[in-house]
Amino acid sequence: MDIGGAVRIEYWAEADGKIGVFEPEGMSEFKAELAANYVSQVRGRPGAMGGLYGLSVDFLTSFSLRHFLSLIMDGIAYDLVKSGSEALILRPFIAAYKALKKRNNERFITGLRIERLSLSFEDSTVIIHELRNVELVSNLEPILYTLASHYKNLILRSGEEPSLISVPVVEDPADDRLSRFREFLDVDETVQDISALRYLGFWGLRYDFANTSRVYDVEKQLLLDLPFLTQSAYWKEWERRWKEQNP
């Protein structure tokens, strides 16, 4: 077996009323396909009704992000990156996911989908978030090729490279916004014009040694000296403000 990395998948599912969950149709075949190509773990957890069956996918590899992107720039397909004993081969996962999704398109209200895809490298993590009514997997290739060609612009003057890249972030349109830039929200999102173009709009970056976050304007190829809020940080800040206004 040629291992293409390690993958961990978690999803919220409807409980069966006992100590199990109602799994998507074809889940056993999906798990078998992953086990044949990766060190893999797939786990369904019981959740409340509504918004279920969104996969949170985490890939782990011993590549550095810079080396991974340099191989893409050298012409290696983004979904078949392999160098020596290192690999991040996404093609078997994508094929297995599409087959699973097709079998369940009419079964769940919101459909089976990927809510978040995390690529964890030796030195950095790239997190790609689902956008409302936009297929994540079909946008993965342009995102990674754009990241490869723009990566040099993400390095600070000190030479520090980002420890986290969040794709995408958005400029909050609210007059009383908590921060100019933030990740898209899973509920109560006020941005209306959501399309695949957002994936190549703004990215959020985190730097460990500089202890700061920045925003990258992809179109202008400009690293902005502005912070962004992750989704979790946004809701913590929202709660803090609400408590101040409602003592």
> Which three-class secondary structure state does DSSP give residue 112?
coil
Domain boundaries, the chain: 1-123, 149-247
β-strands 202-207, 222-224 pairing: unpaired
Given a contact cutoff of 8 angstroms between Cβ atoms, the answer to whether 169 and 183 are in contact is yes
Give the Cα separation of 102 and 98 in Å (integer): 6
Give the Cα separation of 102 and 205 in Å (integer): 34
pLDDT of residue 84: 82
pLDDT of residue 29: 95
pLDDT of residue 3: 66
pLDDT of residue 12: 86
Q: What are the average pLDDT values for consecutive 10-residue runs of the chain, which has 247 residues?
A: 81 79 90 95 80 88 94 95 89 95 76 91 96 92 98 97 98 94 90 94 98 98 97 94 91
Give the Cα separation of 182 and 235 in Å (integer): 11
For residue 98, give the nearest of 60, 46, 55 by alpha carbon. Answer: 55
